[in-house]
Structure 1
Amino acid sequence: MAVVTKVEHQSVEERAAKGRACREQSPRSGHKAWAPATDRPDPVALLEEQNLTRDQDLVPVRHGRMLVSPFTFYRGAARIMAADLKDTPRAGLVSQLCGDAHLSNFGVFASPERTLLFDLNDFDETLPGPFEYDVKRMAASFTIAARNNAFTADEVRDVTLAAVRSYREAMADFARMRTLDIWYARLSEEQLLEAVDLAVRSQKGKALKKAQRGAEAARRNVDKARTRDSLHALSKLAELVDGQYRIVSQPPIVVPLRELESAYGMSAEEAGPALREQLRAYRATLPADRRRLLERFEVVDVARKVVGVGSVGTRAFIVLLQGRDQQDPLFLQVKEATRSVLEDHLPKSRYRQPGERVVQGQRMMQAASDIFLGWTKGVQDNRYLYWRQLRDMKGSAVVEGMKPLAMRFYADACGWTLARAHARSGDPVAIDAYLGKGDTFDRSITDFSQRYAVQNDRDYEAFAEAVRSGRLEAADAV
């Protein structure tokens, strides 16, 4: 028998009153003056625990990528921050969380209508929870990235404030919108570039020339994203052998399945039937029209492919499929889904398996999601996967090269996008009423971010010392 959930519908006034009442439980000024808990766990030990279930030959690669800078360390330290956030104030207003909303987890990709959109693009840690968690993860990432780029103290503060202010002001707009208008809201390529032009026109003198160069770089990145599709991936990742395409071996980043027998204890003869069964199970999670579309493609080759920073070591594969002929490729990415790092401190996911948790969270938060987004259980016990296209006009900003003006603009875009994602699943009226019209919340989160950046530096140094001492092994960053 289906469980019927009773949905309570409150008036706008009641929802706003609820948000204002939350200020008593968690004053907006209470988010500042953060300090680590006295019983704070060893950050290196938290990373070591994560490594236990990861492919051991890739763990040094993960460490090498995190060792590059305090910023790359922060990108891989979602579990550490989740442990810190559990002790921070909460207003009691829940939204679907990205769970890892740092600034490098935003980017452009193609909608099903082939329009480029700017949105969140990583949902490995997604889970319902306090909206402040995502805001703090995002804001602290801007502080850390700005410090990494050698901004002045004032520039660091301005960039962080811009991100939080954009979130608060966007939430105020969403609070006044009709429900369907929130659902259809999106940040398109045209809107993004129009905003870039507006930012450029506001500059003068030398700043204007710098802004113009930044705008040109933004347009090049958008144009480059349009070329990043499966046909482009075919030219970069595959080669013709005896008249048949196969994925090129580029260890340790790309290793075809034919070379991974020792790692997964499965021969090539066993891998074929297992893959076909996985594909059937994955297709079953897609809508009927997408299943029919996918059935027009056949599997050609499979490889393990390392991605990201925090995800390194979790199992990730690419699957090359072929449609009408060799010039009709489709690359799918298959990523392992584990428990969200937030599940250590928040109620566990309602979904039985982590792959579905990721997919459903992504569909809830994104303005438009990949048409091939689905999930399966892995061949081995306690392994869960989700599937999507490898490249569908995906593009991301080069954060390490950003100047202050460009990062402030990017902060505006990320803040708006995160607010829109939270407004889809949470209550924008209540959240807006809690945030208020002033900048109290903005300044409190900025203060938190500055303090957390200092702690992140300390954690990075402890991590680097663990590598130097031999406690952890790190490969050169690849």
Structure 2
Amino acid sequence: MSAVEVGEGGQLSSFAREFTVDGFAGEGSALPGREPAGQWAEVDPALSTEGPKRHGKLLRERVPLESHALLVSSAARPEVVAAVEAANAGRLPQLVPLRVGRMAASPFAFLRGSAGLMAHDLATTPVSGVAAQLCGDAHAANFGLYGDARGRLALDLNDFDETVPGPWEWDLKRLVASLVLAGRQLGADEPACRRAAFDAAATYRRTMRRLAKLPALDAWNAWDAIADHQLVEFAGAHELSEVLAAVSAKALRNTGAKFAARSTVRTEDGGWRFTPAPPILSELTDRQARLIADSLASYRHTVPAELHPLLARFRVQDVAFRVVGTGSVGTRSYVVLLTDRRGGPLVLQVKEARPSVLLPHLVRAGFPVPAEGGHEGRRVVLGQKRMQVVSDLLMGWTTVAGLPYQVRQFRNRKGSVDPVALTPDQLDDYGRLTGALLARAHAHTADAALIAGYCGKDDRLDEALAAFAVAYADRSEADHAALLAAIRSGRLAAEPPA
């Protein structure tokens, strides 16, 4: 099977244009397909469920389900070291070796830190033509728990730095490939790794079919359609029950208040300040801290107006620099300690928002991306709200010294399943759970009936994506080996994770 070239030109349908918001064509919109003619996929604007479902079936004639097994080798693919160096551009140079060291830990860790390289590869793969808001980095470690406005735990995707509209297949392919790599790292045999990828794809497809059968409002309010407490049963993830219970118990204790209690000390004037714990938590100069603190004034206007009285009850006590996860290491990220009049803490994270690494590859693939010039923090926040069933009420954005930032609560009862700490028997259950969560997230901005019509009732797509996952895991292992060789040769500096 050979790759089909993407054509140029074409227009979005008038239906898609009419419902475009912030450059994202909403429910029912379509991407360019991978057919020689290069025409945009026109979506039937019929309001019945049967219209989009029938159109989805027709898309299979142009982009067969079996074609998703395809992984093209491209002469234009950048050298691995060059790709890593390009991804490090603009990051704080003193933290780049730490980022490289984290990526060097395993092929799965390498995949986590190379979303841009995978997007380059995905740009040459077939797509159905249906658009959704993408997480952009939907690997197996980016799902987890967090607290809602009432302190209850929600289960969903939880990382949106790369979020952008694009082909729904890109998120799903990143998920299934990561499951194979996680499985290999935890010691599962190849059939078990492939089965986890297959089950993730199958449950994604099955979830879309369920959502497609619901009235639009019920499907939109997916909390009720596929509630968190029903997900284990729905996904058949019973092997994860004890794991999720343990993660939930830990997440309930993982609060900003607990972080503040452990990481701050009282000052002589009765205030509070962070205790440095380098290299993870570091002091700032007074000028740097003031810039971050002052930026919260503009941040306040990006959260709902009804929350302004709440924010007005807090005063800034201190600001510190804090290193973040693998993909974001080297970006500027700060924690801000605020307290109310009784000393109750609120910790906010102010994190640099860089352009999505998917963007240039979406352009290369022919996707009609939004015009440049928007605030990257706003992109992240709106993308997260579009995909999650419920989001942090205090999310917003700001600008510091000309750079865009996202703002959110820090350690808002966050918890996650470490996929490489699972047992082989639990891996496919985790694949099913994450497949259901990803489908639920995509269905907020893509018509579930359209995707369900394309995916079909049988397992042809599941088989194709499992084959892709194995092939891409092999590629990631080779990429990881190239990274290790560059570190040994001295071409790349690396520090072991702290």
Q: Under a length normalisation based on structure 2, what TM-score does the superposition of the two structures give?
A: 0.86
Shift in CA distance, 216/431, structure 1 to aligned 2, threshold 3 Å: closer
* Alignment: residue pair count: 449
Give, in whole Å, the separation in 2 of the partners of 1:195 and 1:19. Answer: 24
Residues 398-443 of structure 1: CA distance to partner in whole angstroms, max 9, x if unpaired? Answer: 2221012222222111111100111110011110000000000000
Instruction: Identify the residue that residue 239 of structure 1 maps to in structure 2.
Output: 265
Q: 2:324 is paired with a residue of what secondary structure?
A: coil
Instruction: Identify the residue that residue 191 of structure 1 maps to in structure 2.
Output: 230
Instruction: Identify the residue that residue 54 of structure 1 maps to in structure 2.
Output: 91
Q: Does the CA-based 8 Å contact 2:165-2:369 persist in structure 1?
A: no
Report the CA distance between 1:114 and its aligned residue: 2.2
Report the CA distance between 1:122 and its aligned residue: 0.4
Report the CA distance between 1:190 and its aligned residue: 3.4
Q: 1:50 is paired with a residue of what secondary structure?
A: helix
Instruction: Identify the residue that residue 74 of structure 1 maps to in structure 2.
Output: 111
Report the CA distance between 1:194 and its aligned residue: 6.1
Q: 2:146 is paired with a residue of what secondary structure?
A: strand
Instruction: Identify the residue that residue 265 of structure 1 maps to in structure 2.
Output: none
Instruction: Identify the residue that residue 318 of structure 1 maps to in structure 2.
Output: 335
Instruction: Identify the residue that residue 405 of structure 2 maps to in structure 1.
Output: 385
Instruction: Identify the residue that residue 389 of structure 2 maps to in structure 1.
Output: 367
Q: Does the CA-based 8 Å contact 1:228-1:394 persist in structure 2?
A: yes
Instruction: Identify the residue that residue 58 of structure 2 maps to in structure 1.
Output: 21
Report the CA distance between 1:325 and its aligned residue: 2.4
Shift in CA distance, 224/289, structure 1 to aligned 2, threshold 3 Å: same
Point out where structure 1 has 5 or more consecutive residues left out of the alignment: 201-210, 259-267
Report the CA distance between 1:43 and its aligned residue: 2.1
Give, in whole Å, the separation in 2 of the partners of 1:5 and 1:36. Answer: 35
Q: Does the CA-based 8 Å contact 1:183-1:424 persist in structure 2?
A: yes
Q: Does 1:249 align with 2:265?
A: no
Q: Does the CA-based 8 Å contact 2:49-2:212 persist in structure 1?
A: no
Residues 350-379 of structure 1: CA distance to partner in whole angstroms, max 9, x if unpaired? Answer: 571111110110000000010110011221
Letter of the 2:18 counterpart: K
Give, in whole Å, the separation in 1 of the partners of 2:417 and 2:227. Answer: 15
Report the CA distance between 1:83 and its aligned residue: 0.4
Instruction: Identify the residue that residue 262 of structure 1 maps to in structure 2.
Output: none
Q: Does the CA-based 8 Å contact 1:159-1:404 persist in structure 2?
A: no
Instruction: Identify the residue that residue 352 of structure 2 maps to in structure 1.
Output: 336
Q: Find the partner of 2:475 among 450, 455, 469.
A: 455
Letter of the 1:361 counterpart: G
Give, in whole Å, the separation in 1 of the partners of 2:46 and 2:357. Answer: 32
Letter of the 1:68 counterpart: A
Residues 126-172 of structure 1: CA distance to partner in whole angstroms, max 9, x if unpaired? Answer: 11111100010111110110011111111111111111111000000
Give, in whole Å, the separation in 2 of the partners of 1:11 and 1:178. Answer: 10
RMSD: 1.9
Q: 2:347 is paired with a residue of what secondary structure?
A: strand
Instruction: Identify the residue that residue 440 of structure 2 maps to in structure 1.
Output: 420
Shift in CA distance, 10/218, structure 1 to aligned 2, threshold 3 Å: closer
Q: Does the CA-based 8 Å contact 1:175-1:428 persist in structure 2?
A: yes
Give, in whole Å, the separation in 2 of the partners of 1:15 and 1:472. Answer: 50
Q: Under a length normalisation based on structure 1, what TM-score does the superposition of the two structures give?
A: 0.90
Runs of 4+ in 1 over 4 A off after TM superposition: 192-196
Aligned pairs (5 A) from 1:275-294:
275-294=292-311
Report the CA distance between 1:17 and its aligned residue: 2.0
Report the CA distance between 1:51 and its aligned residue: 1.3
Point out where structure 2 has 5 or more consecutive residues left out of the alignment: 1-15, 20-44, 363-367
Letter of the 2:469 counterpart: S
Q: Does the CA-based 8 Å contact 2:237-2:430 persist in structure 1?
A: no
Q: 2:477 is paired with a residue of what secondary structure?
A: helix
Aligned pairs (5 A) from 1:432-471:
432-471=452-491
Instruction: Identify the residue that residue 186 of structure 2 maps to in structure 1.
Output: 149
